[in-house]
Structure 1
Amino acid sequence: MTLKNADQMRKAELAQIHIAKTQLGLADDEYRSLLLSVTGKTSSKDLTWQGRKLLLNHFKKIGFKVKANKAGRPAPVVTGDKTSLISKIEAQLAEAQLPWAYADGMAKRICKVDRIEWCDPEQLTKIIVALIKDAKRKGRYTE
């Protein structure tokens, strides 16, 4: 494991510890007491990887449930050819009263491609998902 990966893992585990603290409804003094009794440390930043694992396992024993994050969701299945996906994007833009330039901007931001026509089906699906999320946020989406 590289140093960068180890640091990312440490940050993820520390985040999970604090999510567990919140999910379990532990007050700060309760959390610190539990931390000291389980690991012998008074701060999670001082924990080794073994200490973090020990603490997370203890949290799971007392009721912490790990939830999948958005990044952990499976990618949407790409169905249809490029033409049908672009047609769907066109319909979404029309419904939102947005110009094609908006879709090109999304392609640039999301896919790092200058124009929507140059996107592959997987990239087009990402843009469709983003447009659906926007429609849901703005109350235009009905399933």
Structure 2
Amino acid sequence: MDPRQKLIKLIHVAKRDLRLGDDVYRLLLKSATGKTSTTDMTVPELEKALEALKAKGFKVRHKTRPHPNPSPKGRGATSRTVDQEAQSRKIRALWLGLHQAGIVRDPNESALAAYVKRMTGVEALQWLDEHQASRVIEQLKKWGFRAARQAEDRADSEGPRAQ
């Protein structure tokens, strides 16, 4: 991949990580470079846009590779890979939805993996079989429904609000 494409991809990752709406994202690009689209930018302009995103809190995370000399227990220093199977994507979407609703505090992959391990005893999302993944999906849905029901009950107990 050429450097320009890498920068564009990184800028889009930053947009997602910072949870920027399209209008805010384009304003940020325009203030940094005078352009509202990464496809219209030169490499130096893309670098300026990336620096502006870093100033807003984006941190570039590099993928780690397994350590060439794994420990005696057979565990290398590997990063947690993100499984792209349909059920895994559904689990991740439910998890992030619960986070956006204020139910889950930590939206990170490691927190999701810890939850999956508590539910199934399986260390990583990509190692779940179909039955285990379905069980995790159903539990996440139930958690969301319970939280929504509790919020409704609280709202009902407060009674009608004065206007």
Query: Shorter-chain TM-score: what band?
Result: 0.3 to 0.5
- TM-score computed with the length of structure 2 as normaliser: 0.42
- TM-score computed with the length of structure 1 as normaliser: 0.47
Higher-helix-fraction structure: 1
